[in-house]
Amino acid sequence: MTAAAARPSPADSEHRPTIVIVGAVAAGASAATRARRMNEQARIILFEKDEHVSFANCGLPYYIGGEIEQRDKLLVAKPRMLRERFNLEVRTRCEVTAIDRAHRRVTVRDHQGGGTFTQPYDKLILAPGAAPIVPPVKGMDAANVFTLRNLQDTDRIKDFIARRPAGRAVVVGAGFIGLEMVEMFLRLKMRVSLVELQTQVLPPLDVEMARMVERELRRHEVDLRLGSGLQGFELERADGRDTVSHVVLDDGSRLAADVVIVGIGVRPNTQLAAEAGLRLGESGGIRVNEFLQTSDPDIYAAGDAVEYTHAVADLHMRVPLAGPANRSGRLAGEHAATGRCAPMPPVLGTAIVRVFDTVAAVTGCNERCVARLGGTVQRLYITANHHAGYYPGAQSMTLKLLYRPDDGKLLGAQIVGGEGVDKRIDVLATLIHLGGTVQDLTELDLAYAPPFGSAKDPLHMAGFAAANERDGLVQFVQPGVDLSTTQVVDMRTAAEMAKQPLVDAPHALHIPIDELRRRLGELDPGRPTVTVCASGLRSYIGARILMQHGFRNVADLTGGAAMRAHATNHEPTRT
């Protein structure tokens, strides 16, 4: 064999390209395995700067809390399997430090063996993920302060807690990971404070929906500090290391802490891409086209470091979640291996979190997102059982829809409840993905048997309400509306009213729905009137009665007294 033959010719390189992948967790591992299935001849090299590949990122809190008992379960695909089944070259503790686009090669620092080497590529896939945002306060490197992103963090936290059982935990940041860690610390019999700069937990949710999650946190005696910035740490020396004794908030309060978790968000790892001159997008993530190609078509990017196209709003956004990471990685791997793939589907930001017995989920646009969209947007709330009320164990859920009144297009949805929230959010995500309307919601032929749903599912009820509003059968007023100058008719029972008073409407007339027709004389048909009940079902029936009895201006308080209580409680609350 001559030297020339040993060097791959351009044609060879096309059939046996070298695909180099930076990062080997969700997007990177998906890219590598899909590339292999597409191209058996390619040389596929995975560089991972950390020790572990393809681990279950989303499972880390549950392992810390002991719900997942075996650490081994977190290792989804081990290097050996990736080598044997997919013929991948897996190089852990190898950090790609530079991209030489002109010569199509990367510089790699080998943290294990030491030294630096270069690796040529035909196609390069960047899947470097994101890193926890570290606030600029002294003490972030203290022995008992942790961020949680990878298995190493996990091991350190678990080890630390094991040595300080039943202590006091302070969680900074009330996003998904923060809330999961709160639950896990409680599970470990620790006392927990949750600190959040915003005046609500779970920023992807609108504030009035987040209130229901906050209620659940308080029910479990979480010390909730909303609207509170992290001022700094009080440090002491323990075992020869700086250790935080107290977390200090910007209102001056001091929280005693045995362990501190900082989970205030992640920042995309874009340095490598930026230094190589690849284009970043408006959200700070790596900009890619529909085939996950960066501004250099031989370089792809996927996962938490990129920005995706949003399915509803006309914007690019980062969505550091496993679903889009796996999807984008898989497509990037296919395109790198074959030169073609289906376009990356736009993202909806669908997400879900369990917080004790409460489940909160979101898909599509929330209020901030529809504000950017512009145009008229309508919203409504429905509270309904997750399965037939006559079958034991029915749990209530509250669903918020955001839709365009002109064409009925569904823009977004949020649900807080218990069982069955995951099902409804997935149906709504599917409907939005396919461009469905609130009318479609009313028409869905969903599966019903008493243990699973209702003949009129919460989704149907939400669709009915929206379709009624679009058809002019009812007008909604929003939960936080000023009721001081309107005639308010509260159609609940006296017992319900005592349990959940109607906020800011002491002048409300109490006329239970079943007495309305015979007590119409007590009301002034000429005055603007708002009908109220617990959740909005009876008040809709009441509104229909009034509208047909000559009341000119009738509106139904969507979400009822319960949602009004949430919506009018906008102040950060200290427990």
Residues of this chain, 193-252, that bind its own copies according to CB under 8 A: none
Per CB under 8 A, the list member of 8, 16, 68, 156 interacting with its own copies is 68
Q: How many residues are recorded in the chain? A: 575
> What are the tokens at 30?
């998906």
Q: Does 40 bind its own copies (CB under 8 A)?
A: yes
Cβ distance to its own copies smaller for residue 35 or 299: 35
Provide, rounded to whole angstroms, the least separation between the CB of residue 544 and its own copies: 5
Compute the distance between CA of residue 466 and CA of residue 332 in angstroms, rounded to an integer: 39
Contacts of 300 (CB under 8 A, 6+ apart): 31, 123, 124, 125, 126, 288, 291, 292, 293, 294, 332, 335, 336
449 binds its own copies (CB under 8 A): yes
Distance CA 564, CA 502 (A): 7
Q: Which residue has the tokens 């996003």?
A: 175
Q: Does 453 bind its own copies (CB under 8 A)?
A: yes
Question: How far is the C-alpha of 339 from the C-alpha of 213, rounded, in Å?
Answer: 46
Site for its own copies, residues 322 to 341, rule: CB under 8 A:
322-327
Strand segments (E) across 167-208: 168-172, 191-196
The CB-of-40 to its own copies minimum distance in angstroms stands at 3
- Cα 469 to Cα 461: distance, rounded to the nearest angstrom: 12
Closest approach, Cβ 513 to its own copies, in A, equals 6
Q: Find the binder of its own copies among 321, 410, 466, 497 (CB under 8 A).
A: 321
User: Is residue 35 a contact residue for its own copies (CB under 8 A)?
Assistant: no
Closer by beta carbon to its own copies, 130 or else 483: 130
Smallest gap from residue 85 Cβ to its own copies (A)? 5
Q: Which is nearer to its own copies, 94 or 325 (CB)?
A: 325
Between residues 425 and 488, which has the closer beta carbon with respect to its own copies? 425
* 3-state DSSP of 356-420: CCEEEEEEECCHHHHHHHCCCCEEEEEEEECCCCCCCCCCEEEEEEEECCCCCEEEEEEEEEECE
Among 20, 21, 24, 26, binds its own copies (CB under 8 A): 26
Q: Choose among 24, 21, 85, 72: nearest CA to 51.
A: 24
Residue 319: CB minimum distance to its own copies, A: 9
Question: Out of 58, 94, 341, 369, which one is annotated catalytic?
Answer: 58
Q: Which of 467, 481, 508, 533 binds its own copies (CB under 8 A)?
A: 467
Assess 544 for contact with its own copies (CB under 8 A). Answer: yes
Q: Does 456 bind its own copies (CB under 8 A)?
A: yes
Question: Treating both helix axes as pointing N-terminal to C-terminal, what angle do 458-470 and 537-548 enclose, rounded to 10 degrees?
Answer: 30
Per rule CB under 8 A, is residue 521 in the interface with its own copies? no
Is 382 within 8 Å of 414 (Cβ atoms)?
A: no
d(CA 328, CA 308): 9
Kindly state whether residue 89 participates in binding its own copies, applying the rule CB under 8 A.
no
Residue of 199, 430, 475, 493 interacting with its own copies (CB under 8 A): 430
Please report whether residue 495 would count as binding its own copies according to CB under 8 A: no
Does 78 contact its own copies by CB under 8 A?
Answer: no
Per-residue x/- track, 283-312, its own copies (CB under 8 A): ----------------------------x-
Which parts of 350-389 interact with its own copies (CB under 8 A)?
A: 350-354, 359, 361, 363, 388-389
Q: What is the smallest separation between the CB atom of 516 and its own copies, expressed in angstroms?
A: 9
Helix-helix angle 421-433:458-470, to 10 degrees: 50
**Which of 284/389 has CB closer to its own copies?**
389
Indicate which single residue of 21, 44, 46, 74 sits in contact with its own copies (rule: CB under 8 A). Answer: 74
Candidates 442, 487, 529, 531; binder of its own copies (CB under 8 A) is 442
Distance spanning both ends of the chain, measured CA to CA: 78
CB of 77 to its own copies, least distance (A): 11
CB nearer its own copies, residue 326 or residue 398: 326
**Is 341 an annotated catalytic residue?**
no
> CB–CB of 170/74 below 8 Å?
no
Tokens describing residue 419: 């069982």
Determine, following the binding rule CB under 8 A, whether residue 88 of this chain makes contact with its own copies: no
Determine if 530 is a binding residue for its own copies (CB under 8 A): no
**Minimum CB separation from its own copies for residue 539, in Å?**
12
Q: From residue 200, give the alpha-carbon distance in Å to each of 208, 287, 296.
A: 9, 30, 41
Are the CB atoms for 22 and 303 separated by under 8 Å? no
Classify strands 266-268 and 130-132 as parallel, antiparallel or unpaired.
antiparallel
Question: Given the DSSP bridges, would you call strands 308-309 and 123-126 parallel, antiparallel or unpaired?
Answer: unpaired
Which of 35-43, 96-104, 254-262, 395-403 is the region at the interface with its own copies (rule: CB under 8 A)? 35-43
The binder of its own copies chosen from 46, 172, 416, 425 (CB under 8 A): 425
> Could you tell me which stretch among 242-250, 279-287, 494-502, 543-551 binds its own copies (CB under 8 A)?
543-551
Query: Which CB, 204 or 281, lies closer to its own copies?
Result: 204
Q: Is residue 549 at the binding interface for its own copies, with CB under 8 A as the rule?
A: yes
Torsion, Cα 401 305 309 326, to 10 degrees, reads: -70
Residue 526 Cβ, how far from its own copies at the closest point, in Å?
A: 18
Question: In the bound complex, what is the minimum distance in angstroms from residue 18's beta carbon to its own copies?
Answer: 17
The reply on whether position 552 binds its own copies by CB under 8 A is no
Residue 541 binds its own copies, judged by CB under 8 A? yes
Q: Decide if residue 520 touches its own copies (CB under 8 A).
A: no
Contact predicate 157/288, CB 8 Å = no
- The sheet carrying 358-364 orders its strands as 351-355, 358-364, 410-417, 396-403, 378-385
**8-state DSSP, 306:** B
Contact 556, 477 (CB under 8 A): yes
Q: Is 567 exposed, middle or buried (0-12, 13-18, 19+ CB in 10 A)?
A: buried
By CB under 8 A, the count of residues binding its own copies is 90
R_g over Cα of the chain: 27
Residue 517 in contact with its own copies, rule: CB under 8 A: yes
> Looking at the annotation, which residues are catalytic?
58
